[in-house]
Amino acid sequence: MTDVLKFGGTSVGTAERIRDVARLVGTRGRVEDPCLVVVSAMGGVTDLLVGLKNSSSERKKEAAEAALHEIGARHRVALSGLALSADESRVCAAAIDEEMLRCRELSLGISLLEEISPRTSDALLAIGELISSRLVAAALRARGTDAVWVDPREMLATDATHGAALADEPETARRFAARVLPELAAGRVVVTGGFVGAAPSGATTTLGRGGSDYSAALFGAALKDAGRVVSAIEIWTDVDGILTADPRIVPQARLVPEVSAAEAAELAFFGAKVLHPATIRPAVARGIPVVVRNSFRPDGAGTIVRRDAAGTGVRAIAMRKGVTALFVGSPRMLLAYGYAAKVFSVFERHRVSVDVIATSEVSISITVDEKAALDGVVRDLSEFAEVSLLEHLAVVSVVGRNLRSTAGIAVRVFAALGDVNVVLVSQGASDTNMTFVVAEGDAPEALLRLHKEFFE
């Protein structure tokens, strides 16, 4: 049996935090059940690498030097704080030197060409994970845990879409069977970097920013496909899990112990920055639970995301600000077929994605992100309809399970809202949310009232 444990950038951000991770990993499970540990780059390092890449291509030599210096220093300082044996320390220092040399060469190459190919970009961005994961493996061995570092490029097979590579899941499972299972069977904890994989040519690829969660899910899936029992994928981060509401607005917010994948997806869309739903799909599809836990408070139970979570009813209240509504009306078009298609084709043409939609006989209300470029949309819509805009709105969503079939949810929502003015409502489009739009200024009050109604 294997757990996959993924630690994000803040969880491995300093030597002290890396030692905490080593303690956490080292004290759990039995030797017969070693875990697979996936780590992000040390917090801020990927951003530094992106900065280095940009200054290199713009030939900003000083900025590039400064970035190179800082990236090297972050890792060397961490290494010296890990209290490794002399041998281990030497090996790690050599690995850092080697990666930093490569980093410098890539930076130089980019500045000579004054351009960055996606392939070069990936080779550069991968360096954070390639170093951080080696440090974690060494820290584990320093406290007596039998741990082995495996290069993520030996594990994760991807296509050649640099910067946003897609996994080749069957090939990844084959590599796991050959490279990873023997280590686990020998009782060794396997440590690797997230975010990084290899194209069929062997070239380094990355999964896109924040991609380490996706790596963790893919690795859990590959273990399972290769025949291992995977009990859970734990995403160790700096929040307790998914909460019933944003605690900055609703101080009474509390932890949600369990959510379904669909609910997690809704909440992610509303900026609960905890988990991106697409990233955990490989795990969810195989019925492997994904648990979000706080590495600063390891005793907390966290939130479990399951394909089929238990319970029904309201699970959380979410809100997203910065929304504009367009009201598109046309009395002449009353009941005309093809009208809605015509309206939405305008949004498509201008590549503006729409969010909440509500319709009546003679009008369609549509919300979009306030940053969307609307001039062209309004101009084109005005050719056949009357258009008005309402800005500074917020979308509020009551997220839960079987909402459509649970009698009385809407009544409770509107009773709780009381005199908070609702600009538009979309209900029943999904069984997992009931969504409405209010003025941005009213949103905190709406959240507080709904939270009180459903959770207090």
User: Least Å distance between CB 12 and ligand ASP?
Assistant: 10
**Residue 343 · residue 385 · CB < 8 Å:** yes
- Name the binder of 351 from ligand ASP, Mg ion, none, CB < 5-8 A by kind: none
Which CB sits closer to Mg ion, 72 or 211? 211
Distances (CA, A) of 35 to 6, 251, 366: 10, 36, 47
Binding to ligand ASP (CB under 6 A) within 245-284 occurs at none
Smallest gap from residue 206 Cβ to ligand ASP (A): 8
Q: Is 219 in the site for ligand ASP (CB under 6 A)?
A: no
Q: How far is the CB of 156 from ligand ASP (least distance, A)?
A: 13
**Smallest distance, ligand ASP to C-beta of residue 453, A:** 36
Considering Cα of 446, then 447, then 448, then 454, what sign does the dihedral take? Answer: positive
CA distance linking residue 51 with residue 444, whole number of Å? 36
Residue 128 makes contact with ligand ASP by CB under 6 A? yes
Q: Does 210 bind Mg ion (CB under 5 A)?
A: yes
Q: Which of 2, 3, 5, 9 binds ligand ASP (CB under 6 A)?
A: 9
- Measure CA of the first residue to CA of the last residue in the chain; give whole Å: 39
- CA 134, CA 360: separation in Å to the nearest integer? 59
- Which part of the chain contacts ligand ASP (CB under 6 A), choosing from 67-75, 107-115, 204-212, 314-322? 204-212
**Nearest approach, Cβ of residue 207 and ligand ASP (Å):** 8
Q: Identify the residue whose tokens are 């941005």.
A: 440
Contacts for 273 with CB less than 8 Å, ≥ 6 apart = none
| Selected binder of ligand ASP within 40, 111, 367, 426 (CB under 6 A) | 40
**Residue 359, phi then psi, degrees to nearest 5:** -130, 155
In the complex, minimum distance from the CB of residue 294 to ligand ASP, in angstroms, rounded to a whole number: 16
Contact in structure between 217 and 280 (CB atoms under 8 Å): yes
The window from 208-216, 235-243, 345-353, 424-432 that contacts ligand ASP (CB under 6 A) reads 208-216
Q: Is 5 strand, coil or helix?
A: strand
Rg (CA), the chain: 25
C-beta of 121 vs 363, nearer to ligand ASP: 121
Asked if residue 372 lies in contact with residue 301, where contact means CB atoms within 8 angstroms, the answer is no
Partnered with residue 436 across adjacent β-strands are 396, 425
Q: Which stretch binds ligand ASP (CB under 6 A): 207-215, 322-330, 345-353, 406-414?
A: 207-215
Site for Mg ion in 2-21 (CB under 5 A): 8
Does residue 128 bind Mg ion (CB under 5 A)? no
Measured in whole angstroms, how far is the alpha carbon of residue 151 from the centre of its chain?
22
210 binds ligand ASP (CB under 6 A): yes
Amino acid found at 203: A
Burial class (CB in 10 A: 0-12, 13-18, 19+), 23: middle
Residue 212 interacts with ligand ASP (CB under 6 A)? yes
The amino acid that residue 402 corresponds to is N
Q: Which of ligand ASP, Mg ion, none has residue 46 at its interface (CB below 5 to 8 Å by kind)?
A: ligand ASP
Which residue from 59, 61, 209, 379 is in contact with ligand ASP, where contact means CB under 6 A? Answer: 209
The answer to whether residue 211 forms part of the interface with ligand ASP (CB under 6 A) is yes
Report residue 65 as tokens. 């030097």
Binding-site residue total for Mg ion (CB under 5 A)? 2
Minimum distance of ligand ASP from residue 194's CB (angstroms): 6
Instruction: Report, in Å, the least distance between residue 36 CB and ligand ASP.
Output: 16
Could you give the CA distance from residue 199 to residue 358 in angstroms, rounded to a whole number?
44
Is the CB of residue 439 less than 8 Å from the CB of residue 409?
no
| Interacting residues toward ligand ASP by CB under 6 A | 8-9, 40-41, 46, 128, 194-195, 209-212
| Interacting residues toward Mg ion by CB under 5 A | 8, 210
